[in-house]
Amino acid sequence: MDTYDDAAYDRFCAGLVNAGFEPTRVEGRPCWAGPSRPSLRTLTQATRMRIEVYPGWPLRYAHVIVAGLRTDHAADDVICLWAEDDPAQIEGRDLEGLWDRLDQWAATAAAGFRAADRALDAYRLYATQSTTYRGELPFRTLIDGGTGGYTAEVYGTMQGTTLLIEQGNRPDPRTLGRPILEGAFYLCADRIDPPRTFDELRDALTRRQRKNLRRGLATRSETDFTKPSGGHDFVVLAWPRHDDDYDAVVLGFAGSGDALHSAAMAATANDPTALRRRAGPDAEMLAPKVVLVAGAGSVGGHLAVALASSGVGTVRLHDSDHLSSTNLVRHVGTRHFVGYRKTHGVSVIVEQHAPWTRVTCHDNLPYGPAELTAAVGGVDLVIDCTGVLPMTAALADICRRQHVPLIVGALFHHGAMARVQRQSGEDTPIASRPDDPRYHALPPDEQSSDTAGFLELGCTAPVNNAPPGAVLVTASDLAAAAIDELTHRRERPDERITVLRPMDAPFDRTGTFDPIDAEPSECP
């Protein structure tokens, strides 16, 4: 066995032998069979159990298998002692650590897991599981559509190995280019144990729901899953789990009549509520905010997506440039948007990531004071990603006069340095900083002559050849500065320089410089 700790593995195996276990192999993995732990006797009549060692031991713990065990946090006879990503599972390198964890699990299982601790992946408890397919559905939207006993007609289409479940008007399969699968969504009023068999799922339904299920299965033809059968091709059962959370299982069907087969598949939610949960803790506060982003190029495009994904409600994009194929190396847009305005490509990408964000597309910001004043009116924050000094200076002046917060981000020396500046409240005006000794002056351009930009067909000025990583660092730091400002935390300084490639002192090592810093701090 190839492990990350051979000495600990030898001790682990010796401990198993001393505990009465004998070595064997299952599917090529080391396995040990021996007496069941006394703590499991109230949960199963099995007197024997297996310990299987997985590749990656002890970073992945040895799994405990008890045949016929039926309880929460156990699937296919495998006891779930630690989550796959739980670093604490390394405690199982010592056999006593594994036994202690197993005894704790058994005590909790015998007493009953709390509702908050019940298994999230209900499909893993089902007798037959699909290892090929998974389902996505507008979970919260369907739950909010009715009360307990509610039945909704749904349909699905296959995209790769994912069943995309929707409710509403069905598209034309000829236009879509994919067949339409028919299904039903059933909502339980009360909390139930996750169904392990088709009979248990049917027993959880109301009489009206069972009638719908029976009718949908009766009209099925003999066909495999992913092909329309004329009846129910799949069903979804949902039930209350804890507080306002719900659990669900998605079953796909194959065959018909007495030859009907069902298999549970992993399911995820794709409704706005589920998406917003991943937007971060500031999403609710950011929802009413309006942010103007000047420049929808490489930095501005990634920034806009990050802000929207974090929960910002409205993004106003200003850029007149069109996307070309050469932009794609660093830009958030894809080849589908070549030839269109960069703002258009960014807006579509934002919609795919954050459907709650409204994006409006505009031409370049005007330079005239009156026009620029009108353009920044009514926004909570202006972010300049143009990298054009005259525009930065104009925005700094107008935003100062209008008391509109401004954040400026730009790359220098072809990606060796990035600077993010904030001008808001009591911050030093950006125009005054070159003469203020608290702020670091950027090194002269000669330092980057060996990595100068290049001319390409159709260009009249050098192209900045900052690498994509530098672009992402700048966009990320801009997004962090913007959220810091929009949430009124103000935990950041009003200026930060990030050194990505060492230059002359004081920028002779990578890190971040804040105002009056003598030495850079380490990059996160």
Find the CATH number of the domain harbouring 144: 3.40.140
How many helical (H) and strand (E) elements, i.e. helices and strands, does the chain have? Answer: 13, 21
CA angle, residues 212, 214, 215, in degrees to nearest 5: 65
Which CATH number is 474's domain given? 3.40.50.720
Determine, yes or no, domain membership for 25: yes
Cβ atoms of 494 and 485 closer than 8 Å: no
Are both 394 and 304 inside the same structural domain? yes
Strand order in the sheet with 290-294: 358-362, 314-318, 290-294, 381-384, 406-412, 417-423, 495-499, 511-513
Percent over 90 (pLDDT), the chain: 76
Are both 345 and 236 inside the same structural domain? no
Determine, yes or no, domain membership for 452: no
Determine, yes or no, domain membership for 516: no
Determine, yes or no, domain membership for 521: no
Q: What is the DSSP string of 74-91?
A: EETTEE--S-TT-GGGGG
Amino acid at 271: D
Are both 245 and 127 inside the same structural domain? yes
Distance CA 161, CA 164 (A): 10
Are both 475 and 347 inside the same structural domain? yes
Domain count, the chain: 3
Q: Are strands 314-318 and 162-166 parallel, antiparallel or unpaired?
A: unpaired
Q: Which of 100, 115, 130 is the last residue of a domain?
A: 115
Structure token digits, residue 443? 């090194």
Distance CA 479, CA 36 (A): 54
Integer angstrom CA distances of residue 364 from 199, 354, 374, 376, 476 = 63, 24, 13, 12, 23
Are both 366 and 399 inside the same structural domain? yes
Cβ atoms of 500 and 473 closer than 8 Å: yes
In this structure, the number of other CB atoms found within 10 A of the CB of residue 377 comes to: 10
Residue 421, phi then psi, degrees to nearest 5: -120, 140
Cβ atoms of 507 and 443 closer than 8 Å: yes
Are both 376 and 427 inside the same structural domain? yes
Q: Phi/psi zone of residue 393: left (φ > 0), alpha (ψ -120 to 50 degrees), beta?
A: alpha
The dihedral of CA 55, 56, 62, 65: what is its sign? Answer: negative
Determine, yes or no, domain membership for 215: yes
Q: Which of 225, 253, 269 is the last residue of a domain?
A: 269
Distance CA 189, CA 36 (A): 38
pLDDT tens for each residue of 220-275: 999 999 999 999 999 999 999 877 788 999 999 999 999 999 999 989 999 888 88
Residue 249, phi then psi, degrees to nearest 5: -135, 140
Determine, yes or no, domain membership for 36: yes
Which CATH number is 68's domain given? 3.10.110
Distance CA 382, CA 205 (A): 54
Integer angstrom CA distances of residue 373 from 290, 358, 520 = 16, 22, 37
Are both 8 and 99 inside the same structural domain? yes
C-alpha 300: how far from its chain's center?
A: 21
Residue-by-residue pLDDT tens, the chain, 524 positions: 789 999 999 999 999 999 999 998 888 889 999 999 999 999 999 999 999 999 999 999 999 999 988 887 887 789 999 988 899 999 999 999 999 999 999 999 898 877 656 545 788 888 898 889 999 999 999 999 888 899 999 999 999 999 999 999 998 888 888 999 999 999 999 988 889 999 999 999 999 999 999 999 999 999 999 999 999 999 999 999 877 788 999 999 999 999 999 999 989 999 888 888 899 999 999 999 999 999 999 999 999 999 999 999 999 999 999 999 989 999 999 999 999 999 999 999 999 999 999 999 999 999 999 999 999 999 999 999 999 999 999 999 999 999 999 999 999 998 999 999 999 999 999 999 999 999 988 988 765 544 455 555 555 555 567 899 999 999 999 999 999 999 999 999 999 999 999 998 889 999 999 986 656 665 54
Q: Which of 269, 304, 338 is the last residue of a domain?
A: 269
Structure token digits, residue 363? 């031409």
Are both 61 and 142 inside the same structural domain? no
Structure token digits, residue 131? 């290892």
Determine, yes or no, domain membership for 162: yes
Are both 418 and 483 inside the same structural domain? yes
Are both 246 and 294 inside the same structural domain? no
Structure token digits, residue 90? 């390394």
The answer for residues whose C-beta is within 8 angstroms of residue 459's C-beta and 6 or more apart is none
The answer for residues whose C-beta is within 8 angstroms of residue 426's C-beta and 6 or more apart is none
Cβ atoms of 318 and 342 closer than 8 Å: no
Across the strands, what pairs with 292? 316, 382
Across the strands, what pairs with 419? 410, 497
Range of the domain at 72: 4-115
Q: What is the DSSP string of 423-441?
A: E-TTSPPGGGGGG-TTSPP
Are both 364 and 432 inside the same structural domain? yes
Determine, yes or no, domain membership for 457: no
Are both 263 and 280 inside the same structural domain? no
pTM recorded for the entire structure: 0.82
Cβ atoms of 326 and 345 closer than 8 Å: no
Residue at token pair 């990583």 = 469
Distance CA 520, CA 508 (A): 9
Amino acid at 514: D
